[in-house]
C-alpha cells in the first residue's frame, strides 16, 4: 500500500432504526427492523406501502428554522450527520487547517422530494410561484456545500452520484486524496431521502420493491429464498478520515484503518447485475490488491445484500470467485435486512457499521433469513449478533448501470 496511512477517527449515522449512531448500532445488534408503513404520503394505491423512514428527526436540533426550510431533507441529514461526526471525533476545523479539510459525499437521487413538491406547485399555480431556493435545494452537490458552510471546511468539495454505490465511491475517493497527502482530513459517506410518490412508483414499475405490505418488519430478506425485492429507505452515514500521523498527533480515538478501494463496471445492463458476478468480483480484487492483502486474510464482508433475487445470487457468486474455499470461512452480513436500502447513502451507513464491527468485535446478524436460497450458501450470520474479532472487513456496494465499489477496512492495533 503506497502513500500515507489513513484511519477512521469519527463515525455518525442517521437511519430508520435510530437518529444517531449509538441508537442505530444498538438496534442493529438487537435485530430490530426499521421498515414500517409509509407516512410521508398516502400509499393506498401503490403496490409497495412500506419503507424505511427516519423517525423523530428534528432538523432544528442542528440549525435554525429558516436554514431548515431552505434545505431538502437529504441536505438536513447531511448537515446533522456532519455536525454529529465532528463532535464525536473531537475534531475542530480551525482557520489554519480549513483549506486542508475536504468533503466528498455519495448521493444517488438528490432532492427528489423538492422536485415533486415544486412540480405540483408549477402545475397548479404557475411559474411565478417557484421559489429561488428550488434549484439550490435539489441539486445533489449541495449536500457537501451545506456541510462546508456549516463547518468552514474549504478543501475539495463534491458529491459522487453512482446510484447505490455512491457512498462507497465517496469513501474511496476521500481515501485516495489522503493517501496522496492532498488534504489533512476528509468528511465522507452518503446521504439520501427519496421516499416519495415518484420514487416508490418508479421502483414499483421496475418490480424492484418488496410488496410484503402485511408484514413490514419481515419484508427485507437478503439471501432468503422468499425475498421479493428491496425496501426504499433514507438517512445518512459518515466517516471522518485522517492521515495516521495527524490522528496520533492530536490524540484521536482511531476506530479503524482504510486500506484498499476497488471500483469497476459490469458493462452489462442498465439495472440488472451481471449474473456471473464478475464485475463485482473485479472491484473486490482491486480493493485487496491496493491493500496488498490476501483473500485468506479477510474475515468479514458487509454485503450489498439488497434482498432482490438477482443481486443476492450474483454477489454470492462474486464472493466465491474472489475468495474460493475461504468464502465459506468468512462471516457475511446484510444490514439492509433491518435498515432497508438507503440508495446513495447505503454504502456510507454500511461502512460505518463495518468499522464498528472491527472496533467492537460484534457482527450484526442478517434478520429474516429463514429459508436460505440454495444458491446463497455462505455464512450470512443469520442467528443474531455474533461476537468475533475480525482483522479485515470488506464493504460492498453495487448500483444501477453496473457500477461496483468496495472498500476494505482493517482493525487498528496501534
Same domain for 303 and 171, yes or no, is no
Does residue 254 fall inside a structural domain? Answer: no
Same domain for 238 and 371, yes or no, is no
d(CA 90, CA 394): 27
> Residues for the chain: how many in total?
414
Question: Mind listing the pLDDT tens digit for each residue in 38-74?
Answer: 999 999 999 999 999 999 999 999 999 999 999 999 9
What share of the chain in percent tops pLDDT 90? 98
Same domain for 231 and 342, yes or no, is no
Question: What CA–CA distances, in Å, run from 150 to 138, 231, 306, 364?
Answer: 18, 32, 34, 33
**Residue 170, domain extent:** 6-249
Does residue 255 fall inside a structural domain? Answer: no
Q: Which three cell numbers stand for residue 50?
A: 412500506
> DSSP letters of 371-411?
SB-TT--SB---SS-EE---SEEEEEEEETTTEEEEEEEE-
Active-site residue identified among 164, 188, 376, 395? 164
Average pLDDT of the chain, as a whole number: 97
Same domain for 222 and 289, yes or no, is no
Same domain for 245 and 264, yes or no, is no
Active-site residue identified among 169, 188, 341, 406? 341
Q: Considering 219, 249, 279, which residue would you say is the last residue of a domain?
A: 249
Does residue 1 fall inside a structural domain? Answer: no
d(CA 132, CA 140): 17
pLDDT tops 60 at residue 1: no
Q: In this structure, what CATH number is given to the domain that contains residue 21?
A: 3.40.47.10
Same domain for 155 and 221, yes or no, is yes
Total domains, the chain: 2
Flag the least confident range among 8-22, 44-58, 261-275, 314-328: 261-275
Same domain for 189 and 77, yes or no, is yes
Same domain for 235 and 314, yes or no, is no
164 catalytically annotated: yes
Q: How is residue 162 annotated by DSSP?
A: B
Q: Which three cell numbers stand for residue 209?
A: 420493491
Exposure class string for 118-155: b at 16+ Cβ within 10 A, else e: beeeeeeeeeeeeeeebebbbbbebbbbbbbebbebbb
pTM of the predicted protein model: 0.97
Same domain for 27 and 139, yes or no, is yes
Active-site residue identified among 304, 376, 395, 406? 304
Question: Mind listing the pLDDT tens digit for each residue in 68-99?
Answer: 999 999 999 999 999 999 999 999 999 999 99
Give the model's confidence band at 414: pLDDT under 50 very low, under 70 low, under 90 confident, else very high: confident
CB 370 within 8 A of CB 215: no
Q: How is residue 20 annotated by DSSP?
A: S
Does residue 68 fall inside a structural domain? Answer: yes
Q: Considering 220, 249, 278, which residue would you say is the last residue of a domain?
A: 249
Q: Considering 222, 249, 276, which residue would you say is the last residue of a domain?
A: 249
Amino acid at each position: 500500500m503506497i502513500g500515507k496511512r489513513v484511519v477512521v477517527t469519527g463515525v455518525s449515522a442517521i437511519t430508520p432504526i435510530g437518529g444517531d449512531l449509538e441508537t442505530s448500532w444498538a438496534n442493529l445488534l438487537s435485530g430490530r427492523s426499521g421498515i414500517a408503513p409509509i407516512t410521508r404520503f398516502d400509499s393506498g394505491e401503490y403496490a409497495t406501502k412500506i419503507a424505511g423512514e427516519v423517525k423523530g428527526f428534528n432538523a432544528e436540533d442542528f440549525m435554525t428554522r429558516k436554514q431548515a426550510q431552505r434545505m431538502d431533507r437529504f441536505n438536513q441529514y447531511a448537515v446533522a450527520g456532519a455536525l454529529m461526526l465532528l463532535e464525536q471525533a473531537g475534531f475542530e476545523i480551525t482557520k489554519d487547517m480549513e483549506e486542508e479539510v475536504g468533503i466528498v459525499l455519495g448521493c444517488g437521487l438528490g432532492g427528489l422530494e423538492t422536485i415533486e413538491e415544486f412540480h405540483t406547485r408549477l402545475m397548479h399555480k404557475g411559474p411565478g410561484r417557484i421559489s429561488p431556493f428550488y434549484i439550490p435545494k435539489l441539486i445533489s452537490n449541495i449536500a457537501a456545500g451545506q456541510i462546508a458552510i456549516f463547518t468552514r471546511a474549504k478543501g475539495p468539495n463534491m458529491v459522487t452520484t453512482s446510484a447505490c454505490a455512491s457512498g462507497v465511491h465517496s469513501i474511496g475517493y476521500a481515501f485516495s486524496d489522503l493517501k496522496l497527502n492532498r488534504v489533512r482530513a476528509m468528511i465522507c459517506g452518503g446521504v439520501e431521502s427519496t421516499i416519495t410518490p415518484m420514487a416508490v412508483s418508479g421502483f414499483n414499475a421496475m418490480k424492484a420493491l418488496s410488496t410484503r405490505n402485511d408484514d413490514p418488519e419481515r419484508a427485507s430478506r437478503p439471501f432468503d429464498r422468499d425475498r421479493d425485492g428491496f425496501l426504499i429507505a433514507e438517512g445518512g452515514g459518515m466517516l471522518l478520515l485522517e492521515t495516521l500521523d495527524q490522528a496520533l498527533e492530536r490524540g484521536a480515538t482511531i476506530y479503524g484503518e482504510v486500506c484498499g478501494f476497488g471500483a469497476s463496471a459490469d458493462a452489462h445492463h442498465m439495472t440488472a447485475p451481471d449474473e456471473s458476478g464478475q464485475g463485482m468480483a473485479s472491484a473486490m480484487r482491486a480493493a485487496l490488491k491496493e491493500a496488498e492483502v490476501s483473500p485468506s486474510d479477510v474475515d468479514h464482508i458487509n454485503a450489498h445484500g439488497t434482498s432482490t433475487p438477482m443481486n443476492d445470487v450474483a454477489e454470492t457468486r462474486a464472493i466465491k470467485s474472489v475468495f474460493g474455499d475461504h468464502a465459506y470461512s468468512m462471516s457475511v452480513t446484510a444490514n439492509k435486512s433491518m435498515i432497508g436500502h438507503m440508495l446513495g447513502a447505503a454504502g456510507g451507513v454500511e461502512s460505518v457499521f463495518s468499522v464498528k464491527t472491527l472496533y467492537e468485535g460484534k457482527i450484526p446478524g442478517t434478520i429474516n433469513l429463514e429459508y436460505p436460497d440454495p444458491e446463497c450458501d455462505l455464512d450470512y450470520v443469520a442467528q443474531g449478533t455474533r461476537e468475533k474479532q475480525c482483522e479485515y472487513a470488506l464493504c460492498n456496494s453495487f448500483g444501477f448501470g453496473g457500477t461496483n465499489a468496495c472498500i476494505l477496512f482493517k482493525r487498528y492495533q496501534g
